Amino acid sequence: MTKCRRCKKNIPKGELRIGRSAKFRDKNIYYYFHVKCAFESFEKARSAANIITCMDDIIGFDLIKDEDRLLI
């Protein structure tokens, strides 16, 4: 089971989540967030490069169910 990077609570399998990749020792690692937690973290972001500013910033947005798109 995956844990949210912000609140540290579990993200149940199949629940909508937002992932972020980062380089660590020449490897891409992924951090996952609840949707609400992801957007709360944007409020404290130091750089505009670390936030979602439009739906084009979300890779795979077209693969998300319509009802989940409304949450984002």
**CA distances to 2, 52, 70 from 66, in Å:** 23, 19, 7
The highest-confidence range among 10-14, 17-21, 48-52, 65-69, by mean pLDDT, is: 10-14
**pTM recorded for the entire structure:** 0.69
∠ CA 69-13-59, rounded to 5°: 40
The answer to whether residues 34 and 7 touch, using CB atoms and an 8 Å cutoff, is yes
| Residue-wise pLDDT tens digits, 18-59 | 888 888 888 888 889 999 998 888 777 665 556 676 677 777
pLDDT of residue 45: 67
**Closest to 50 (Cα-Cα) out of 12, 11, 20, 27:** 20
